[in-house]
Amino acid sequence: MTLVRDRLFIGGRWVAPAGKGYIEVMDPSTGTVHARIPEGTPADAEAAIAAARAAFDAWSRTPVAERVGYIERIAAGMTARSDEFAQAIACEVGMPIRLAARVQVGGPLWHWHHHAELAREFEWERRIGNSLVVREAIGVVAAITPWNFPLNQITLKVAPALLAGCTVVLKPSEVAPINAFILAEIIEAAELPAGVFNLVTGYGPVVGEVLASDPRVDMVSFTGSTRAGRRVAELAAPTVKKVALELGGKSAAVVLDDADLAAAVKGTVSSCLLNSGQTCSAHTRLLVPRARLDEAAQLAAAAVSAMKLGPALAEDSRLGPLVSAAQRERVRDYIRRGVAEGARLACGGAEPPAGLGDGYFVQPTVLVCEDSGATVAQEEIFGPVLVVLPHDGDEDAIRIANDSLYGLGGGVWSGSEERALAVARRIRTGQVDINGAAWNPRAPFGGYKQSGLGRENGTYGLDEFLEYKSIQLRQVG
């Protein structure tokens, strides 16, 4: 049965869209229509901006404790509907259901609860000499979010923006929007004041461009491709609004000659293949000592081959499909190009995997590539493809890791934490994992170079939605 959502959430009400168009949301495991949503128009975006603008003054002056209360009610509502979120995301993104419940839903739930805790320890104002320095909401925020981790990226924008006192217009990806409708229902049930949160669906070149360019919007927070991020920044520039961008990556896992190679390869494969490789910070380049290149390729092929590829709702699936037919063909084209440019297939390939019907599946693939300047070693593939590259020592490994337009994630593997840390400090990227260290959701997430501007997570993410104001006080005597 096709799920139909035919209303937008604007000004505290579910309203009919201005146009009659709709967008089909596909189930990537089957290649069939999963849902239909409104194809929003510029008029819908403008109505949502007007509602957010009208609500801003009162919401920004609402005491922090009251704002925290709303955040806690939203978190409770999300917890109650967590299974529904997991089902929706599995069916629109393709991540296997058990993993979706833990990663795609569990992570966002943690962040909503954590943002409520943040407010109690956050320094909202501070006395410096004769100045009172206060933190104030930046204003109306346009949140434009991607399809690969849809609820998580919505959360990392909406939760801190609301806590900061901003009002929000959310445009989720039209590829994976149903989770956003569920969240809007939860926000409505939490009785957030009208206009504080608004949901408009549609295409980026239509709805997104209005949000990025409208002078009534004070900030755009965007997650997506580097190409689209450049366009957002271009549209925002004439009104000098703040822009936060979380963009692409081509992260390198650097394996030094004293590392446990088997552990390094296993950890890198897990990072690379998370969400079928559709993760901006995935470690998609594995840099190993030249003498151990073949051994590393064999270990990687064995680790990849052990992961069962299957439909998202199958309990035993470890890897799901790619999100769309277009993404499937894009990734297959990269595999073909890699081989054409001289890379060697250790496993996988561009041929369709057997027995998986009409879904958007790609074989998880390991390419061994001698040339660090090759296309597959430079461009973001965004699929289940690991590129194994040789290096000739620490200096060469650092050079190769930094030879990229991007700087989002990375890893260093070594038998010496001191040596690994020395290398990590020289890699131009926003986060580096040493020997597979655990992800820290309180630490800042964001990139160098063309991986973006600004940071998400914890207090660092809250900072993005606040302005400093200095109030000079007259000193007596």
Q: Which residues are catalytic?
A: 246, 280
Antiparallel, parallel or unpaired: β 22-27 and 32-38:
antiparallel
Backbone CA torsion sign across 87, 89, 93, 94: negative
Of 282, 292, 309, whose CA–CA distance to 28 is shortest?
309
- The pair phi, psi for residue 447, each rounded to 5°, is -130, 165
Neighbours of 76 (CB within 10 A): 15
Task: Pick the closest to residue 25 from 383, 323, 224 (CA basis).
Answer: 323
Question: What tokens were used for 411?
Answer: 């890893």
Q: How far apart are CA 346 and CA 48, in angstroms?
A: 51
Indicate the SS3 state at residue 272. helix
CB 246 within 8 A of CB 446: yes
* Residue pair 470/142 in contact by the 8 Å Cβ criterion: no
Per DSSP bridges, beta strands 385-391 and 283-289 are parallel
Determine the Cα–Cα distance for residues 97 and 105; give it in Å rounded to an integer. Answer: 10
Alpha-carbon distance 110 to 25, whole Å?
Answer: 27
The amino acid at residue 334 is: Y
Q: Let me know: does 306 contact 273? Beta carbons within 8 Å.
A: no
> What's CA 392's distance to the chain center, in Å?
33
d(CA 389, CA 60): 51
Grouping H, G, I as helix, E, B as strand and the rest as coil, residue 181 is: helix
Q: How far is CA 71 from CA 62, 241, 431, 446, in A?
A: 13, 26, 28, 24
Structure tokens at 376: 């597959």
Indicate the helix (H) or strand (E) that contains 154: helix 150-164
Start-to-end C-alpha separation, the chain: 76
